[in-house]
Chain A
Amino acid sequence: MSKHTFTHLDALESESIHIMREVAAECKNPALLFSGGKDSIVMLRLAEKAFRPCKFPFPLVHIDTEHNFPEVIEARDKLAADLGERLIVRSLEDSIKRGTIVIKDPDLPRNPFQSVTLLETIAEFGFDACMGGARRDEEKARAKERIFSFRDEFGQWDPKNQRPELWDIYNTRVHAEENIRVFPISNWTEMDIWEYISRENLYIPSIYYAHEREVIRRGGSVIPVSHLVQPKPGEQVEVVSVRFRTVGDMTCTAPVESTAKNAREIIEETAMTRITERGATRMDDQTSDASMELRKKEGYF
């Protein structure tokens, strides 16, 4: 008999494939949320592993803040096209035009409003399950979230009223108007994601790798200069070698200083790093110790 090794990545991969197949089989109209970020790119590969040689039994959906880095949008469109899968894009701008999102300043961070457009998109297409690439290691509030997480008709998450999740038997049943968020990579860590990107040789947006960028230093963070973020009087623009650990809203996603040019070097850096992914890069989660939890209750992924 041949020697057979089953690594932690194999175990995580098999679990995620199993979850995606359960969603496809039991939910009537699922969708896969796909942003072009690294976690959702891992989700795409897992979906390929789960369903090929068939087509995906769900479309890809992106809720676009229009504050995204152009490299990420490019990657989103390229990957969806290469796979030949259907990509649905809905923009916060549409919600703003409809008047369902009212913002004071178009240049301020838009993550808090993403849930509005997401819920409108869910209603438009009648999705009963949305798969997302959130991980439990990202934030304390996520550590307690189930893999199948229920939302009431207002899209709200109640941390005290979650269904117990036993073995690998998932209860996917919902009433009309309710829906589920499913997190197939709940048990993956940032390190697992990078190891998988390296193992599978996945294409990810170039801004995840070290590059020279104009930045300003504001409140302890390194902030990229863009058409949305300009230096204030007295702030100095520097050119620094940086990479992004997450790629969200351009106005509140900070890069880290780095010289890692490929996934292997990022794994080495990640092994050494002493700051959490969200702590380093998401200014909106730093407002208070519980800000992610508050956003989740309001319907954020």
Chain B
Amino acid sequence: MTTQTQLLRFITAGSVDDGKSTLIGRLLHDSKSIFEDQFSAIAKTSEKRGMAAVDLSLLTDGLQAEREQGITIDVAYRYFATPKRKFIIGDTPGHEQYTRNMVTAASTANLTVILIDARKGVLTQTRRHTYLASLVGVPHIVLAVNKMDMVEYSQARFDEIVVEYRAFAAQLDLHDITCIPMSALVGDMVVDRGDNMNWYQGPTLMEKLENVSIAHDVNTRDFRFPVQWVCRPQTGEYHDFRGFMGRIEAGQITVGDEVTILPAGRSTRVKEIVTYDGNLPTAYAPQSVTLTLADEIDISRGDMMVKSDAMPHVSQDFSAMMCWLSESPLDRNRKYIIKHNTRVVKCKFASVDYRVDVNTLEQQANPVVNMNDIAHVTLKTQKPLVFDAYSRNRATGSFIVIDEATNNTVAAGMIS
């Protein structure tokens, strides 16, 4: 089976000073995704600010408050397309206090572009961004060594940075790293190759984005179908219809396959795969479908269908890496709510095992968990969850923690 998706989600991590907004502006501009009215608006602003050339970074300035402050403060999504692919960019800020924004944007990304300034080389924030990308399991990394025009397009400088970066990245669980020298300001190696770095033989950023293989970014082995909604029309020709609606989060399913419904554990066979466009013989992640079953089994939202030959874990106790997102610190005396796939359960934190210093990767014994902290925790839920390790399956290994009092999303968890 080949699952060719033409939609690629990627994020950019780096600070304003690294030229991140300029890089995004350059990608949009050189791929001809900028409209005339957008261009004339930023040309006007550039002129007002006394700039000699049009500042492409203005394209990605989002909200009024930020425009006034001149910084990007949240996650913004941008869209562009080439004949090969459609792209969604999650634009995340590089400031330390916004770890949570990078984790948020990275959670749906196929690829992370980590931007560094060729003059400065690998910085603390570079290590932080790379660690967070590996923590959230982003499958592909591009190290964009920007501002090569400021180091005379020196191959030696680029090589030096790459050696240092790869030595650091080797400690992490990263499998696909591409290092690209570029100048977003001039445009070298972003979309066009330019004439300044003929010593570089690898792909431009755009070539990498257009060609990176993402078919296996979702788990294609273990069928996982969290039930979202049960459809019982109870009318006319559908009098006895009971359809289980949901999205296939991993793997594939064929009519006649044996499935087990968890956590209860009863098994039956798939009778039909129903869609608005007609029934299918086989369906794959991430399709949204409706399944009917051979036997009448009591199934409701929150249950998970799996294939009987690839079982997940079913447990009330598990440990996880967690990024705390809320301004109020974790209170271990309180109960929280977990949403995991379509299941919502109460939970408590049995222990905070250690915290990770995102700058040094050191583990620290510290039970206090504040906003932007990454901690390894052990949890207990009121009812069992049906899950996989995050490293095996992003879709069934992830959860969010909700504060019942405020209804805010306070943490993102990745099951160990």
Contacts and interface: CB of A to CB of B under 8 A. Distances in A.
Interface of A: 1-8, 10-15, 17-18, 21-22, 24-25, 48-55, 136-137, 140-141, 143-144, 159-160, 162-169, 171, 173-175, 186-187, 189, 191-192, 273-276, 279-280, 289-290, 293-294
A169 B344 CA distance: 11
A289 B36 contact: no
Contact of A165 (B67, B88, B104): B104
Nearest to B61: A140
B74 interface: yes
A189 to B, nearest CB: 5
Interface stretch (B11-19, B148-156, B229-237): B229-237
A53 B243 contact: yes
A287 to B, nearest CB: 13
Nearest to A137: B79
A163 B408 contact: yes
B103 A159 contact: no
A166 B81 contact: no
B229 A21 contact: yes
Interface of B: 1-7, 35-38, 41, 61-65, 67, 73-79, 81, 85-86, 88, 100-101, 103-104, 107-108, 228-229, 231-233, 238, 241, 243, 245-247, 274-277, 281-282, 284, 286-288, 301, 325, 337, 339-342, 394-395, 398-400, 402, 407-409, 412
Nearest to B300: A25
A3 B2 contact: yes
Contacts of A166: 103-104, 107-108, 398, 400, 409, 412
A18 B228 contact: yes
A3 B75 contact: no
A55 B233 contact: yes
A191 B81 contact: yes
A37 to B, nearest CB: 20
Contacts of A144: 62-63, 74-77
B78 A143 contact: yes
Contact of A25 (B2, B41, B342): B342
21 contacts: A4-B282, A5-B4, A15-B286, A17-B288, A18-B247, A21-B228, A25-B228, A49-B277, A54-B233, A143-B78, A159-B74, A165-B409, A166-B412, A167-B398, A168-B108, A173-B402, A187-B77, A189-B81, A274-B35, A279-B35, A290-B64
A201 B166 CA distance: 50
A12 B36 CA distance: 27
Given A55-B233, A173-B402, A21 B1 contact: no
A53 B231 contact: yes
Given A49-B276, A54-B231, A144-B76, A169 B63 contact: no
B282 A14 contact: no
Contacts of A22: 228, 342
